Amino acid sequence: MIQVTEEALTKLEELLRSEGGEQSAIRVAVMGGGSKSPGLGLVVDEAGAEDMSYDVGGIPLIIDRGLIDYCGTVTIDFTIGAEGKCGGASGSGFLIVPDNPVNF
């Protein structure tokens, strides 16, 4: 299951409108590496055969079946200026929290 806060819904809609096409959705995916361990991120994409699809507040969201089975519930939030909570210099951005953290 994917849950989205009200703050994140607005930002997801903006992301989809600016980067998506007619068949596009927001994908929750494993991303990262580098100095930090992998985590979950968001990317505009189209659904594939192995994806679970969700509609949350009119926003199409997709995630690989295996990933959602592993993570359980995934909550997407958006924070503004919360230093140390999200990447980037501004400290603002999406915060994606699974029930079972991604530690590959």
What's the pLDDT tens digit per position in 51-90?
A: 999 999 999 999 999 999 999 999 999 988 755 555 555 5
What predicted TM-score, i.e. pTM, was given to this entire model?
A: 0.83
Check: CB of residue 62 under 8 Å from CB of residue 45.
Answer: yes
Phi/psi-derived region of residue 43, left when phi > 0, alpha when psi is between -120 and 50, beta in every other case: beta
Q: Is the pLDDT of residue 7 over 90?
A: yes
Q: What is the pLDDT of residues 22-37, one digit of tens each?
A: 889 999 999 876 556 6
Nearest to 6 by CA among 79, 61, 77, 82: 77
Going from the N-terminus, what domains does the chain have, and what CATH number goes with each?
Answer: 2-98 (2.60.300.12)
